Amino acid sequence: MRFSLQIFSRADSRSRRIRFSGNPLAILLLIAFLVCLILFVHSAVKFTWDHYSPYEGTVVEIKRSWTDQVASESGDVEHLIIRTPQGRLIDKSISFQTRITSNIREGDYVVKKRGFRSHVRRRDDGT
């Protein structure tokens, strides 16, 4: 069995080529690259959507995910597990800096309005 994959292949010998042929480690390298790419795209889309969409509820748990450690450069993404007023549990991504500056802890009631410029904030007793 012969596996061959050529990228940027030209007849010109001066052009750069990437060639995987006949090496089973090349398949593993290609699979690892695709898995990392999928994890990165999933984390980026989820992080962007969570920064745009509105939500509110009580913070049940604050945790970190191993997929965010692999996919992000800084690794400071945390997940807020929130119980909505309807009783559903939702998972929202938030950066560590935003959580610390908003003083969000487990048991706090948080509110986020729609939009990228709206940040997650804690609802105080007087609001």
What is the average per-residue pLDDT within 71-81? 76
73 pLDDT band, cuts 50/70/90, is: low
20 pLDDT band, cuts 50/70/90, is: low
21 pLDDT band, cuts 50/70/90, is: low
- The whole-angstrom separation of Cα 121 and Cα 127 is 11
CATH topology of domain 38-122: OB fold (Dihydrolipoamide Acetyltransferase, E2P) (2.40.50)
Closest CA to 56 of 124, 121, 126: 121
Order of strands, sheet of 89-95, starting from the edge strand that comes earlier in the sequence? 89-95, 77-83, 55-63, 109-112, 121-122
